[in-house]
């Protein structure tokens, strides 16, 4: 699909965009007039999402693949380049790790390394790959975190520690990129009724949890802020106070 587009049309790159929060945000941004680069591992689900997004009238480039793969990250950066700009990089794709969740004392180290490859290394790699475009657009990077990053919950050590690392990476990048005009923020979306949550709590009734669209008021606020004012912040999308005090 060619990506000829008006250069003033904002562009977002969303990972993990075929379901859950990523899919919800893809619809939200498409409705806001963004052109999109979306990715997820399952090509069938990603194709369904892309076809649904086409109804908004913008352009969508869907590239299935694994963000832990450097070649795939390069293709995503190339897709954004074909649009001529990148205003928002949303690092949403995450690996929960082995399920049922395991205590760190029993955690296979090769699987821990894979969790870190997806949840920590891949977001850094995508920032590196897209940085020239982000700089040119005074863009925003949003890294999706979790309350597990600060909770120290039993059996959540693999996933939680990866998100804690991503929080620190977000703050560090915000400090390092401040002079270039690129903003970086970390967002804990809160507990949501998603497939990942079902994988973490098999057999439990999750009907009391909100769907991802419950976070949309927060996202409308965040994306409406002046970039420099939100850079370096850690936010809780379902809290009464969205910004976590430092």
| CA 45 to the chain's CA centroid | 17
Structure tokens belonging to residue 14: 């969303």
Helix axes 157-177, 122-137, angle to 10 degrees: 30
Task: Please indicate whether residue 159 is annotated as part of the active site.
Answer: yes
One of 34, 56, 116, 159 is an active-site residue; which one?
Answer: 159
- H or E stretch at 60: strand 60-62
With CA atoms as reference, report the closest residue to 234 among 190, 189, 171, 186. Answer: 186
Are 35 and 11 in contact by the 8 Å Cβ rule? The answer is yes
Are 122 and 51 in contact by the 8 Å Cβ rule? The answer is no
Please tell me the distance from the alpha carbon of residue 166 to that of residue 160, in angstroms, as a whole number. Answer: 10
- Which positions are catalytic? 159
């Amino acid at each position: 699909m060619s990506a000829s587009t008006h250069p003033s049309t904002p562009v977002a790159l969303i990972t993990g965009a075929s379901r859950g929060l990523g899919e919800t945000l893809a619809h939200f941004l498409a409705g806001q007039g963004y052109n999109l680069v979306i990715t997820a591992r399952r090509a069938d689900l990603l194709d369904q999402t892309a076809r649904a997004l086409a109804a908004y009238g913008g352009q969508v480039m869907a590239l299935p693949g694994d963000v832990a793969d450097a070649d795939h990250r390069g293709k995503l950066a190339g897709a954004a380049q074909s649009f001529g700009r990148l205003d928002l990089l949303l690092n949403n794709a995450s690996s929960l790790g082995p399920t049922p969740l395991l205590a760190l004392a029993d955690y296979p180290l090769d699987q821990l390394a894979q969790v870190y490859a997806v949840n920590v290394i891949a977001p850094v790699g995508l920032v590196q790959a897209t940085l020239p475009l982000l700089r040119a657009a005074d863009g925003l990077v949003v890294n999706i975190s979790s309350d597990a990053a600060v909770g120290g919950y039993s059996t959540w050590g693999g996933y939680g520690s990866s998100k804690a690392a991503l929080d620190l990476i977000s703050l560090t990048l915000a400090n390092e990129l401040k002079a270039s005009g690129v903003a970086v923020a970390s967002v804990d979306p809160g507990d949501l009724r998603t497939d990942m949550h079902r994988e973490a709590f098999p057999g439990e009734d999750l009907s009391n949890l909100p769907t991802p669209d419950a976070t949309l008021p927060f996202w409308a606020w965040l994306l409406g802020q002046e970039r420099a004012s939100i850079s370096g912040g850690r936010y809780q999308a379902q809290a009464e106070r969205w910004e976590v005090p430092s």
